[in-house]
Amino acid sequence: MTKGRVNPERTLEQQGITGLGEVHYNLLEPALVEQAILHGEGTLGKGGALLVTTGKFTGRSPKDKHIVRTPSVEDHIWWDNNAPMEPEAFDRLYDDMIAHMKGRDYFVQDMYAGADANYRLDVRLVTELAWHSLFIRHMFRRPERDELDTFEPEFTVINCPTFKADPARHGCRSDTVIAMNFDRKLILVGNTEYAGENKKSIFSLLNYLLPEKGVMPMHCSANHAKGNPVDSAIFFGLSGTGKTTLSADPDRILIGDDEHGWSDRGAFNFEGGCYAKTISLSPEAEPEIYATCSMFGTVIENMVFDEETLALDFEDDSLTANMRCAYPLDYISNASKTGLAGHPKNVIMLTCDAFGVLPPIARLTPAQAMYHFLSGFTSKMAGTERGITEPQPVFSTCFGAPFMPRRPEVYGKLLREKIAKHGATCWLVNTGWTGGAFGTGSRMPIKATRALLSAALNGSLANVKFRKDPNFGFEVPVNVASTAVPDILLDPRRTWDDASAYDRQAKKLVEMFAENFTQYEENIDDDVRAVAIG
């Protein structure tokens, strides 16, 4: 039995998926909230938000992600970063998952990724959980209702948390699996309730498809000046570095908080919503994001709450430090209605430096920008992945290695070409530690970061005096006209009690950068190689 609006020629049965229980197609938010409550998947919170938990999986499982090795993709995949799965093993996985699904109820959302119609990808997401279907409606872009009558999904994602894979039979690492088959246009997700796997599977898909079309797929947030979509900025960064927080600037228009493309026409959002971290979220620092936590249909993931009053505890991370809220973009008052903007004038690379070495902001040459983009240095924050309980310094190329099917140089070259063609100014912004390393120093003041970014975006920072950093060679402002940014903060060495200890820490970090970058030296231009050598 089916319910909801769907192309009658593209039901699951037409796709060969038969024998299911009740299939709910393209339900709207009220019906999905109702179904989630009826199925015991969550609690109705203040304002109609849906409060859910994801069990033991409170973050992504990147080591359980596989790409099916077929002749069409064999020579294009970065196999050092993506675990292979043989086609026969995937076929067994698919057959066993479909058999497991028999008789069970499922929820289908026909959505698309990509605000630019020239690069739109129509996808079908089949989920066992009603709240996953609600999450998907927030995170992806919604076709008009009458479009659903003729909707033709190009790729299908099947997410079945109650299905456990068999590593011996299915050629995977554990009983949790995320398997992508580009030939069959299928993505299978099993044995994890973490909703982020849904959105990142589509992001990985776009990261493979779009470079062939000359589009740079980016793990970044983006905004533009009010009344001027041509004046746009993009913010690269891993989870926890501030992409969502820093792009949600009340003085600018939010394009999106996580995934974008850069084409010959400009920047465009892949998604239709935001997935913001809520730990220590406050109405003073982030009023609009905070307000979404009590709006109808917002998915509140892994947050502790008072069972009587339903009040959320934004400081209790006993479930996970990766507590989140998912909501549609239109819940933010200054969000773009089109998801489109011009070519970025500013490219910001966010890093969370747990060493306490990097300055709060630095200006990069194009060669330095490619060096830092390929390096992707940051600190992996607690809770983002299973097993991470405190910040760990990591190099995640392109600020998103887990989502990159192709070699990093493919994305690095695309980014550099677009920066050069459109004359973007590049900045490295440290949202991590100052005055010492993690455990000794303190977190970079958010007010200072915001003030420096505002100065960079409005152009005033270009007019201040800069010094050359002795460790990395980039330019660092000496002072800025803002009480939120004392001069001492701009020189991290001065913020340490022991300057010689800073020097040792800086030397250690420079050596880490150099050692990590050796893997790219054969495939880069001489000027970027010169940055690496110093």
Active site residue 244: yes
Query: Among the listed ranges 101-105, 377-381, 407-411, which one has the minimum average pLDDT value?
Result: 377-381
Catalytic residue among 69, 243, 418, 493: 243
Classify residue 235: in a domain, yes or no: no
Instruction: Say whether 258 counts as a known binding-site residue.
Output: yes
Catalytic residue among 110, 249, 257, 258: 258
Catalytic residue among 10, 69, 137, 200: 200
Closest listed residue to residue 311, CA positions, set 322, 300, 319: 300
Query: Among the listed ranges 239-248, 293-302, 477-486, which one has the minimum average pLDDT value?
Result: 239-248
Please give the tally of structural domains in the chain.
3
Question: Burial of 148 by CB count in 10 Å (0-12 exposed, 13-18 middle, 19+ buried)?
Answer: middle
The answer to whether residues 319 and 358 belong to one domain is no
pLDDT at residue 239 above 80?
no
The answer to whether residues 349 and 299 belong to one domain is no
**Residue 504 or 382, more confident:** 504
Catalytic residue among 219, 343, 363, 413: 219
The answer to whether residues 282 and 207 belong to one domain is no
pLDDT tier at 528, thresholds 50, 70, 90: confident
pLDDT at residue 52 above 60?
yes
Classify residue 263: in a domain, yes or no: no
pLDDT at residue 396 above 80?
yes
The answer to whether residues 320 and 352 belong to one domain is no
Instruction: Say whether 244 counts as a known binding-site residue.
Output: yes
- Give the containing element (helix H, strand E) for 492: helix 492-495
Classify residue 438: in a domain, yes or no: yes
Classify residue 244: in a domain, yes or no: no
Residue 406's CATH number: 3.90.228.20
Q: What local confidence, expressed as pLDDT, does residue 493 receive?
A: 97
Active site residue 174: no
Instruction: Say whether 518 counts as a known binding-site residue.
Output: no
Instruction: Say whether 219 counts as a known binding-site residue.
Output: yes
Query: Among the listed ranges 58-62, 130-134, 343-347, 426-430, which one has the minimum average pLDDT value?
Result: 58-62
Instruction: Say whether 190 counts as a known binding-site residue.
Output: no
Compute the distance between CA of residue 468 and CA of residue 105 in angstroms, rounded to an integer. 61
Classify residue 176: in a domain, yes or no: yes
The answer to whether residues 99 and 157 belong to one domain is yes
Instruction: Say whether 242 counts as a known binding-site residue.
Output: yes
Question: What are 194-232's pLDDT values in tens digits?
Answer: 999 999 999 999 999 999 999 999 999 999 999 999 999
Active site residue 239: yes
The pTM (predicted TM-score) of the whole model is: 0.93
Q: What local confidence, expressed as pLDDT, does residue 394 receive?
A: 87
Range of the domain at 30: 2-45+57-213
Which of 181, 213, 245 corresponds to the end of one domain? Answer: 213
Q: Which residues contact 258 (CB under 8 A, 6 or more apart)?
A: 199, 219, 220, 221, 243, 244, 271, 274, 275
Q: What is the mean pLDDT of the chain?
A: 94
DSSP secondary structure letter of residue 60: B
Q: What local confidence, expressed as pLDDT, does residue 381 receive?
A: 54
Instruction: Say whether 60 counts as a known binding-site residue.
Output: yes
What is the pLDDT averaged over residues 406-418?
94
The answer to whether residues 301 and 359 belong to one domain is no
Spatial contact of 341 and 267, defined as CB atoms under 8 Å apart:
yes
pLDDT tier at 384, thresholds 50, 70, 90: low
Residue 188's CATH number: 3.40.449.10
The answer to whether residues 175 and 323 belong to one domain is no
Residue 279's CATH number: 2.170.8.10
pLDDT at residue 390 above 60?
no
Active site residue 60: yes
The answer to whether residues 282 and 400 belong to one domain is no
Classify residue 99: in a domain, yes or no: yes
Classify residue 50: in a domain, yes or no: no
How many helices (DSSP H) and strands (DSSP E) are in the chain? 13, 29
Instruction: Say whether 308 counts as a known binding-site residue.
Output: no
Active site residue 219: yes
Which of 161, 189, 213 corresponds to the end of one domain? Answer: 213
Classify residue 518: in a domain, yes or no: yes
The answer to whether residues 21 and 157 belong to one domain is yes
Question: What are 313-355's pLDDT values in tens digits?
Answer: 999 999 999 999 999 999 999 999 999 999 999 999 999 999 9
The answer to whether residues 395 and 521 belong to one domain is yes
Which of 189, 213, 237 corresponds to the end of one domain? Answer: 213
DSSP secondary structure letter of residue 11: S
The answer to whether residues 299 and 351 belong to one domain is no
Active site residue 200: yes
The answer to whether residues 144 and 30 belong to one domain is yes
pLDDT at residue 2 above 80?
no
